[in-house]
Amino acid sequence: MQKSMCPFCEEQKNRSISIINKSRILAETDNFVVFPTTGGFVENYQLIVPKNHINCFGELSKEQLIELKSIILWQQEINRKYFNSNSSMFEHGSLHPNNESGKSIVHAHLHIFPNNISLLAEINKYNFNIQPIESIEQLSILCKKYDNYLYYSDIDGKDYIITHKGIPSQFLRMLLAKSQGIENWNWRDYPLVEAIENNLEFYKENSLIYTRKKV
């Protein structure tokens, strides 16, 4: 059931209420929107957000997953072509809305960004259970098995699920920032509004319009 105060749902209803007071949506499909994250401390740091208010990507249908993979391919292509970079992704997931699983907003969202530094070694320093998975499709099973999870796709395209008790909010944002010598990783303290504006302008200047990719 949709929450009336969910900021992602509210922004989709009225796109001028975003942090930049206008639409920041770069792409829209039947089931998803894509927009620059608040606090984007690396270039082309995007969020892929389901239009429907769901709690995690494990709730997506097979058809929605096909659509999602096409969006991911589009972003990976941009990262390779314009940023000479691989890509990483992550999602804090929980099937139940009262279990926030470390995410700051309880509406499913997938982080995707250019990255050439694996975060696995840093993740392994913490007391979490890390296991490889075949693909993001497995989240439909794993979200029912675990109370919460952290999905991570590394720079080589291999996927992992990290299970935990009380993972900190913005955990992988923190590790990503540290890997690049960046201190201002907390989006609440450093929203980096100018980076959002620059991102939108970059897509406009380069005519980077989403077209569906075959998966």
Instruction: Render pLDDT for 133-186 as a digit per residue (tens, 0 to 9).
Output: 999 999 999 999 988 899 999 999 999 999 877 778 899 999 999 999 999 999
Q: Which residue do the tokens 């998803």 mark?
A: 32
Q: What is the distance between the alpha carbons of residues 140 and 61, in angstroms, rounded to a whole number? A: 9
At residue 86, the pLDDT reads 98
What average pLDDT does this structure show over 4-23?
91
**Residue 118 clears pLDDT 80, i.e. is over it:** yes
Lowest mean pLDDT among 102-106, 129-133, 181-185: 102-106
**Residue 1 clears pLDDT 50, i.e. is over it:** no
**Residue 5 clears pLDDT 90, i.e. is over it:** no
DSSP 3-state of 88: strand
How buried is 12 (Cβ within 10 angstroms: 0-12 exposed, 13-18 middle, 19+ buried)?
buried
Name the pTM for this structure: 0.94
Query: What are the DSSP E strand ranges found in the chain?
Result: 27-28, 32-36, 46-50, 87-93, 110-114, 129-133, 149-153, 159-163
State the pLDDT confidence band at 84, using cuts at 50, 70 and 90.
Answer: very high
174-181: Cβ within 8 A, 24+ apart: 175/119, 175/122, 175/123, 176/42, 176/88, 176/113, 176/115, 176/119, 177/41, 178/122, 179/117, 179/119, 179/122, 180/41, 180/42, 180/117
Domain ranges within the chain, ordered by starting residue: 24-205
**Residue 52 clears pLDDT 70, i.e. is over it:** yes
Q: What is the distance between the alpha carbons of residues 164 and 147, in angstroms, rounded to a whole number? A: 9
- The pLDDT mean for the chain works out to 92
Q: How many CB atoms are closer than 10 A to CB 184? A: 11
What average pLDDT does this structure show over 8-17?
94
CA angle 204, 65, 26 (to 5 degrees): 10
What average pLDDT does this structure show over 188-193?
96
In 3D space, the residue among 151, 143, 171 whose CA is nearest the CA of residue 48 turns out to be 151
At residue 3, the pLDDT reads 45
DSSP 3-state of 181: coil
Correct CATH for 24-205 of 3.30.428.10, 3.10.180.10, 3.30.310.40, 3.30.2350.10: 3.30.428.10
Share of the chain above pLDDT 90, in %: 80
**Residue 19 clears pLDDT 90, i.e. is over it:** yes
In 84-159, where does DSSP find H-type helix?
A: 120-123, 139-145
At residue 2, the pLDDT reads 44
At residue 103, the pLDDT reads 61
State the number of CA atoms in the 13 A half-sphere of 87 facing the CB.
23
At residue 102, the pLDDT reads 52
Q: How many CB atoms are closer than 10 A to CB 157? A: 12
